[in-house]
Amino acid sequence: MQITEDVEELLSLGYRIATENNFVALFDMILDKCIDFTDADGGSLYIEAEGSLKHLLDINRTLDADSKKSSIEADKIAAGPDDTDIYTYCYHNPENLLNIPDIYLDDRFDITEIKKFDEENDYRTQSVLVVPILEPDQSVLGVMMLYNCLDDERNIIPFSSDYEKLVKSLTAQMANTLTSMILIQDQEELLESFVECMTTAIDARTPYNGKHTKHVARYCQVITDYMNVLYTRDAIDRYITPNEQEQLLLAAKLHDIGKMITPREILNKATRLGEKYSDLRNKLEKIRLRIKIDMLEHKMQIELWQEEDELLGRFLDQLDTLNTSGFLTDEQIAFIDQMGEKYYEDFDGTITPYLDENEKYSLHIRKGTLTEEEREIVKRHVTYTAQMLSKINFYDKYDRVVAIASNHHEYIDGSGYPRGLKDGQLDLLTRIMTVCDIFDSLTADDRPYKKKLTLEKALGILNEMAQEGKLDSGIVLIVSDYMSKHFKELSAQMKEEELREKEEEEKSYSDFQADGERMEEQERAIRDEAIPDDEVGITVTEELLDIDVPFAELPQGDRLPEKGLEKDDAVGRTLAPGEISGSIPKADVQEKKQERSETNVQQNGGMAEAEMRGEPGGIVVETDNSPEEVHNRRTAESVNEEIRARNEELERTKAEENEKAVVMDEIPRSGKPRSRRGRKSKGTGTTLDLETTKDSESADSAAEVKNEEPVNKALESLPFLDDDLLDIDDDREEDPNPFARHRAAEVLPSAGNPMLAGRAGGN
């Protein structure tokens, strides 16, 4: 096979279409090549967006016009919603490819826009080929129109059928590529929306760093942009690629996700004492009052009282400062230790220390507001971040997000946490985020345990940490250079953005409240809507407690609940006696119940006997699994259960009558058998009441013992009674399951001792 020039160009185009990842470039390439291959003079491309067509591209060889519409322009000149123009008609009727020799002679469409274009440019549009761009599922992605097909002498001719096939093939390839691009874009947008959701949740969890995550992400963005500017000016030798910048921003937004697990009382702990502050102040005020009373009652010397009162007063005056100060001096720590040694002893010997161990330990925090234990808990958020992000499937494009977010507290000298990584183990993106994270912590104005530092002071601390070998000195230098020049403008910009976000949130809340009445009306309408009786709920009968289906016989995927049969094996099975097909019409159910009940009574329990013989029971398995068929089958099962219950009841009644007759014939007419109550058969909830009829009050003890012996022997011979059951107290126990049906015929055999068979019953 010889590859001609045209074939080679088509193969090259197919490869470019398959590998293109830019929307506009893809559209431009397809439109341009379709014009070339069909010898058209020009073409237009419309793309579907939000249910309408947007005019995106125009190419005209004669006029030397090659224009790309911006999104705003595309909205203004979007095709109308009606099928009056040729583009919209093709969009709503994608099965109809339009090949028109002369558009001016076809009166089916409104060509006002085409005529306007011709008049403005002294042009004449004649032959047109309009092709829909279809996804594999035949959804319309857009519409392409080629116009004025030219022959070798540049005369306008109609488009041939070969051109129709060629254009359809190329647009189909473009649709496949476009579908893949849209899918990837949707995935990325989903990931971004998830990250934004988590960012909002992280910042909203504590009011004391509500803007921290967004600030760190913004600082990472502006610093990497600034680094690329410096790279273009040969100031640095490292360029941050778009993918690297994107990964850094995602990591910055997720770097504190582990704080979702950190206890809120620790995150929100703004003071050293926390909630214990009020209790401590009240305790010291009471002690101060007590020693004054002791002094007034001459139980304490005035000089000693003055000394203690002055000490307590001075400590109470400084308590707020000691509780909230960002850093405590040695003198303040010594004062706390002095108060920790003081206590008040009442006259009954009760000792109340000025500061208990917990209060002294909390006030002893030199820097910040957290104890060592609380600080370790906060540090764990980095580990939690790594654990949580490892559950997200970050594909290759975002393969560095987890590492960047998890290592933002590591220092290049190995003194960071949680893993103590060093210089060679921390990449450039992680170092950038570490510096940005520290910078925001230093300049934040929403931390109650410390004051906002000035820009100069914050940059000074960063430089000190770089000199100590903790931070990358090059990154610190770039951050210091940018922030010293642009921090004021950047801060103002971020505040404006935060204000707009707050206004949008308030507007959304107001809109939600405005829609409250309408939503309530809809809810009332839903509540008032009648639901069919058979959809409201189900009726549970006592028989539920007697059903015991082995797990192996329950539905497992395609397995059916009936005897473990597969569908193919069960279809067409013969009905068992008393069995009803699952396809009975709903209207005939009651009539079928009556007919089947009478038939089974006459057959003396057909279904029950079939089950006793091990024959399959239940309903016929149907291959149609529609809701109606499922309902019919369930109805049939209910009918079968009712038939079975009636047959069992009939048998039980007959058995009880026969047993009573036998017992009455064999009960001794003298003697008084001892009553035994509360005897329960093993493995059932059935109670045996073995109290026999009392015939004679004057019978002697010998007769009583003689008549009792058969009963005891019969009880001891029963295989289902344990020895300990023979000593149950006479007080009958309350049945724990009032819904269970206790049938003696199912517990005791009718053969054996006639007294037992005749006097057994349920409670």
Q: Please give the pLDDT value at position 483.
A: 95
Cα 753 from Cα 749, distance rounded (Å): 9
Which of the four pLDDT bands, split at 50, 70 and 90, describes residue 588? Answer: very low
Residue type, 44: S
Which of 44-53, 532-541, 565-574 has maximum average pLDDT?
44-53
Instruction: Answer yes or no: is pLDDT of 712 > 60.
Output: no
Is residue 725 packed enough to be buried (19+ CB in 10 Å), middle (13-18) or exposed (0-12)? middle
Query: Which ranges in 606-700 belong to alpha helices (H)?
Result: 606-612, 627-666
Q: Which residues contact 512 (CB under 8 A, 6 or more apart)?
A: none
pLDDT (average), residues 637-644 = 72
State the DSSP code for 39: T
Angle between helices 473-514 and 212-232 (to 10 degrees): 130
| 561/322: higher pLDDT | 322
Tally of CB atoms within 10 A around 208: 15
Tens of pLDDT, residue by residue over 724-741, are 433 444 444 444 444 333
pLDDT average, residue stretch 411-424: 92
Instruction: Say if CB 3 and CB 113 are below 8 A apart.
Output: no
- The pLDDT score that the predictor gives to residue 465 is 95
Q: Per-residue pLDDT tens for 252-261?
A: 999 998 888 8
Mean pLDDT of the chain: 75
Q: Give the separation between CA 430 and CA 460, rounded to whole angstroms.
A: 21
Q: Is 66 left (phi over 0), alpha (psi -120 to 50) or beta?
A: beta
**pLDDT value for 178:** 81
pLDDT at 669: 43
Amino acid residing at 471: L
| One-letter amino acid of 579 | E
Beta strands 98-100 and 679-680, pairing class: unpaired
458 pLDDT higher than 90:
yes
Q: How confident is the model at residue 634 (pLDDT cuts 50, 70, 90)?
A: low
Cβ neighbour number for residue 634 with a 10 Å cutoff = 14
Give the per-residue pLDDT at 571: 39
User: Is 286's pLDDT higher than 50?
Assistant: yes
- Cross-strand bridge partners of residue 145: 44, 130
More confident residue, 238 or 539: 238
Q: Which residue has the higher pLDDT, 486 or 92?
A: 486
Reference 575, options 596, 558, 598; nearest CA is: 596
Alpha-carbon distance of 751 to 757, in angstroms, equals: 7
Of 46-50, 109-113, 592-596, 606-610, highest mean pLDDT: 109-113
**Percentage of the chain lying above the pLDDT 70 cut:** 66
Residue-wise pLDDT tens digits, 504-521: 877 776 776 666 667 777
Exposure string of 520-541, with b = 16+ CB inside 10 Å and e = fewer, is eeeeeeeeeeeeeeeeeeeeee
State the average pLDDT over residues 419-438.
94
Q: Is 469 exposed, middle or buried (0-12, 13-18, 19+ CB in 10 A)?
A: middle
Of the candidates 143, 182, 157, the one whose C-alpha atom is nearest the C-alpha of residue 102 is 157
Q: Is the pTM of this model over 0.85?
A: no
Predicted pLDDT at 757: 35
Two tokens, residue 676: 């035994």
- Residues paired with 130 in a beta bridge: 98, 145
| Chain segment 222-244, per-residue pLDDT in tens | 999 999 999 999 999 999 999 99
Mean pLDDT in residue range 535-547 = 67
The helix (H) or strand (E) run that includes residue 249 is: helix 242-254
Is the Cβ–Cβ distance between 157 and 150 less than 8 Å?
Answer: yes
Q: Is the pLDDT of residue 549 over 80?
A: no
Site of tokens 């088509």? 10
Q: Is 748 helix (H, G, I), strand (E, B) or coil?
A: coil
| Rounded-to-integer distance, Cα 336 and Cα 344, Å | 16
pLDDT band at 209 (very low <50, low <70, confident <90, very high): low
Question: What's residue 615's pLDDT?
Answer: 42
Structure tokens that stand for 316 in this block = 């109470």
Q: What letter would DSSP give residue 451?
A: P
pLDDT digit string, tens, across residues 123-168: 999 999 999 988 877 888 889 999 999 998 889 999 999 999 989 8
Q: In sequence order, what are the beta bridge partners of 100?
A: 128
Taking only the tens place, the pLDDT of each residue in 652-707 is: 877 777 766 555 554 444 443 333 333 333 333 333 343 443 444 444 444 444 44
- What is the average pLDDT across 246-250? 94
Provide the 8-state DSSP code for 52. Answer: E
Q: Residue 127 and residue 4: Cα distance in Å, rounded?
A: 29
Residues 382, 383, 386, 388, Cα dihedral to 10°: -100
